[in-house]
Copies of this chain bind each other. A is one copy, B any other.
Amino acid sequence: MTRLERQHHVRRASIKDIARLANVSHSTVSRALRGSSLISPQTITRIRQIAADSGYRPSAAARSLVTSRSATIGVVVTSIADPFAAEVVLGIEDAADQRDYSVILANSNAQPEREMRVVRAFEERRVDGIIVTSSRVGAVYAELLSQAHVPIVLLNNQHPSEFMHSVMIENLAASRQATQHLIDLGHRRIAYIGDRFGCQSDTERFSGYQSALEAAGLPILTEYTGYGNGSADGGDSAMSELLTLPLPPTAVFCYNDMTAFGAMRAAAARGLRIPTDLSIVGFDDLFFAQFAAPPLTTVRQPMRDMGRLAVESLLHLLAGTPTEANLKMPGELIVRQSTASPQEIA
């Protein structure tokens, strides 16, 4: 028995095996295991003991076939190697586990073909709901996802639809605050490096930046708008371009930390010191932000909590309980050493 049990691909005990051992019908076993009030407490205890002894594990497949619930949620990320996504997924897995849901994780790599495969896999596995962590969810992708006919929660994005909730950060307020921080330090030539794909978070962060400048009576110059792509390389080249301007900015607010890391690298490559020659602000507060050179001033997003909240939101959608469809979390400006007053007079 022990020998057999160690082998791989043994047939697992089924409800029928337990029934035989317990001398009852398999219906009774099923009820006992589920704690039905129809079964006497002694029988329940006895049957559960037998089940435990024989290492019984209910088949999720069989159960979901009859209940038409898979107790599974599908999570798509553009790339799990993106630290932002990884933190969010941690929160999602955590909350899902607490509710006895399993997480099926898929990477889309921002490739339409992969996105299709992912949705198909989710459909075949009959996931109860889907969480999408990506700042770029185009109309086509959203349409595709909605074909799964299950509730969807978008993280860092939004889509007006009855079965699509969203969890986002207060982009506008947070960005305004970040930009204000630079203004307060005395900066007048403040650039923004965004995401050239123009996703919703980018649009909102850009608006926050603009509104802070406006409120301070500062001009909004198009040459101070750089276009990255959310990655370090994107930030690097956008920053490089900004630095070729006759009157380069003395401070930059970046769409996210990755972009900021790239901007730092570009500045360093040109011999600029941060924050003496250039102040840089990021967005996310990735774990690494504190280890950057110098430690990065940034807007902290409660990534894990956002993941947890996405699960809660999804469960509400599944239960049909009315809740806020578009949840907004506050961001928090974390001032570190990448920002300071400008040294030269503009």
Contact = CB atoms under 8 A, between A and B. Distances in A.
Interface of A: 5-12, 55, 57-62, 64-65, 68, 70, 75, 79-81, 83, 86-87, 89-90, 93-94, 97, 102-107, 114, 117, 120-121, 123-126, 146-147, 149-151, 163, 232, 261, 264-265, 287-288, 291-294, 304, 317
| Among A8, A90, A97, A163: residue with most chain B CB under 10 A | A8
Given A8-B151, A80-B93, A288-B291, 14 more contacts: A5-B149, A8-B150, A57-B124, A60-B61, A61-B62, A61-B125, A80-B89, A89-B105, A93-B107, A97-B106, A102-B104, A103-B104, A261-B291, A288-B288
Contact of A146 (B6, B60, B261): B6
B9 A150 contact: yes
Contacts of A9: 149-150
Nearest to A100: B121
A75 to B, nearest CB: 8
Count of chain copies: 2
Nearest to A146: B6
A82 B104 CA distance: 19
Contacts of A75: 105
B10 A126 contact: no
Given A8-B163, A149-B5, A291-B288, A106 B103 contact: yes
Nearest to A93: B107
B120 A57 contact: yes
A346 B94 CA distance: 50
Nearest to A288: B288
Contacts of A123: 12, 57
A11 B149 CA distance: 9
B70 A80 contact: no
Given A65-B61, A292-B293, A87 B81 contact: yes
| Among A86, A103, A117: residue with most chain B CB under 10 A | A86
Given A93-B80, A261-B291, A106 B102 contact: yes
Nearest to A164: B8
B60 A62 contact: no
Contact of A61 (B57, B64, B114): B64
A106 B102 CA distance: 8
A8 B149 contact: yes
Nearest to A260: B291
Contact of A59 (B5, B65, B294): B65
A76 B65 CA distance: 26
A68 B103 CA distance: 21
Contacts of A264: 291
Given A7-B149, A12-B149, A103-B104, A60 B94 contact: no
B149 A287 contact: no
Contacts of A150: 8-9
Contacts of A288: 261, 288, 291
Nearest to A125: B60
A94 B114 CA distance: 10
Nearest to A81: B90
